[in-house]
Amino acid sequence: RKKDKKEQKGSTFLVLANRLPVDSYTDENGNIQWKRSPGGLVTALEPMLKKREGAWIGWAGGTSEPPAPFREDGMKIVPIELTQEDVEEYYEGFSNATLWPLYHDAMVTPKFDRSWWGKYVEVNQRFADAAAKEAAEGGTVFIQDYQLQLVPQMLRELRPDVRIGFFLHIPFPPKELFSQLPWRRRVMEGLLGADLIGFQVHGAARNFLDLTRDFLGLSPTENTVVAKDGRQVKVDDYPISISSKEYDTLARSAEVEKLIHQYLSELGNRRIILGVDRLDYTKGIDRRLKAYREMLADGMLDPEEVVLVQVAPPSRERVESYAKLREEVEREVGGINGEFGRFGLPAVDYIPRSLNRTELAALFRIADLMMVTPIRDGMNLVCKEYVASRIFGNGNLILSEFAGAAQELKEAWLCNPHDIDGMKEVVKAAWDASEEEQKRRMSTMRDHVFEYDVDRWASDILHDLGID
Ligand code: ADP
Ligand code: G6P
């Protein structure tokens, strides 16, 4: 492929994700400005992006015409346009009403809609085209998550010279579930366009390898599958993490200290159980509320002594199952407060919005018990953030066995969120745990979270992708 000089330029390291790592805001002069959103992924990839004239391709949210590519914080930002129809069919439809529930144990029935699939193909092609245009000769393209599973193959066809990595942030289901997908072969082949496919946990990588044999007739070995044209595709687990040191430093800051005093007095100096989740049906918020309500009713917890703080910013609100969940959760919160709250002292303090990191760190610091009880979660970062924020080495993490993080944080109080009685027992045990017991568990988890932070994740996966 001949290219003139101008064309040969481009980015040697490219990240593709459905969302950009920047948020827009309007400044005092009424101009649109951008600021970096505080995600672990961008923090982890930043050194690589800066070192290698990096670019990030993604959607800015919304449906207005996106700005031309621009530079921000040492990286090039390339916005992808989505029309109203694209948002409805590719994002809300195929990504979040087909793939998301299917990959999370089909706990909500996935919808299989042929026109959504068509739009998914079309938008994936748009991302692949943008990457093909942007990537330098021999560069590396690192593609993120379930919204973009067809991009590896599409990009390989356009640009066989680039190295392609893919990382799935959510679970990858077993054959019994994945088989439901009418376009299952296309998705598998899409992914296999990559040189490396990363999953959160070993079981997910295993599921994928098995499927390459069952659906594509390939002969995978432990960590490798040899795909069409004799290419070796590396398949492995790379559990993602957080910027642990940053959280620890933030949790020790004066701003956090100030907020702690304010929160404690506002919450009536009761002991705090905390939940922090996007309002998503996978997070098990309903089960958590049920267990809490029963504990108050049974007298296992005394409403004079405890408050459940549940932070739950609404998410994907135009998808039906999310709107329904919001109603259910709000009804249940109202019910618990009606029954057990007192004037000015609700039994559940429900905060239906995003908080900034300082506010979150302050809540993590004052929570005696943190409840992370998803029905299924690829990893779950909130529990790692809690651990990193426990600067005095005490505290109780109650963690669902069905979060990827449970494979690493084995000293948490593990629970099965389907088993309400079992969950109540675990909460009670954590509630009564001695300081010594708390520290024994927490110190092992802190060691783990500091050693396996997001920088370690990025260096492991990028090393295996052939760049350091
Ligand atoms: P998911 O990616 O499914 O939402 P994770 O636990 O893996 O779940 O990651 C969620 C991220 O979003 C964490 O970094 C967490 O701190 C952040 N987050 C969750 N809830 C809130 C909130 N109410 N306000 C601000 N950030 C939040
Ligand atoms: C999960 C997914 C991400 C997604 C995020 C927020 O973490 O793995 O890909 O960006 O949720 O969801 P949203 O639909 O708002 O992007």
**Pairing mode of beta strands 32-36, 22-26:** antiparallel
Ligand number nearest CA of 309 is 1
**Taking the chain, what is the end-to-end CA distance rounded to the nearest angstrom?**
27
Select which of 195, 248, 277, 377 is catalytic.
377
- Does ligand 2 have an atom closer than 6 angstroms to the CB of 448? no
448 in active site: no
The closest of 378, 279, 372 to 322, measured between CA atoms, is 279
CA of 442 to the centre of ligand 1 (A): 21
Mention every residue, 6+ apart, whose C-beta is less than 8 A from residue 149: 99, 124, 166, 168, 187, 190, 191
Distances from the Cα of 316 to the Cαs of 93, 127, 146, 271, in angstroms?
Answer: 10, 21, 15, 32
Residue 237 three-state SS: strand
Ligand with minimal distance to 39 CA: 1
Q: Is 67 helix (H, G, I), strand (E, B) or coil?
A: coil
- What does the DSSP assignment read for 194-217? SSEEEESSHHHHHHHHHHHHHHH-
- Burial label, 64 (beta-carbon count in 10 A; 0-12, 13-18, 19+): exposed
421 Cβ neighbours under 8 A, 6+ residues apart = none
Query: How much distance in Å is there from the Cα of 190 to the middle of ligand 1?
Result: 28
Any catalytic annotation for residue 145? no
Please give, one letter per residue, the 3-state secondary structure of 73-124. Answer: CCEEEEEECCCHHHHHHHHHHHHHHHHHHHHCCCCCCCCCCHHHHHHHHHHH
- Identify which ligand lies nearest to the alpha carbon of 353: 1
pTM of the model: 0.96
In tens digits, what is the pLDDT along the chain, a chain of 468 residues?
A: 455 544 458 999 999 999 999 888 888 988 888 888 766 688 788 878 888 889 999 999 889 888 899 998 889 999 999 999 999 999 999 999 999 999 999 999 999 999 999 999 999 999 999 999 999 999 999 999 999 999 999 999 999 999 999 999 999 999 999 999 999 999 999 999 999 999 999 999 999 999 999 999 999 999 999 998 899 999 999 999 999 999 999 999 999 999 999 999 999 889 999 999 999 999 999 999 999 999 999 999 999 999 999 999 999 999 999 999 999 999 999 999 999 999 889 999 999 999 999 999 999 999 999 999 999 999 999 999 999 999 999 999 999 999 999 999 999 999 999 999 999 999 999 999 999 999 999 999 999 999 999 999 999 999 999 988
Residue 201 Cβ inside 6 Å of ligand 2? The answer reads: no
How far, in Å, CA of 192 to CA of 230, rounded? 12
Distance from residue 170's CA to the centre of ligand 2 (Å):
9
**Is 383 near ligand 1, meaning CB less than 6 Å away?**
no
Residues 243 and 309: their CA atoms lie apart, in Å, by 24
Q: Which region, left, alpha or beta, applies to residue 217 given φ > 0 means left and ψ of -120 to 50 means alpha?
A: left
The closest residue, in CA terms, to atom 19 on ligand 1 is: 277
> 145 CB less than 6 Å from ligand 1?
no
Find the 291 Cα to ligand 1 centroid distance in Å: 22
Q: 128: closest CA among 115, 118, 119, 141?
A: 141
d(Cα 332, Cα 344) in Å, to the nearest integer?
Answer: 18
Question: Does the ipTM surpass 0.90?
Answer: yes
Residue type, 365: R
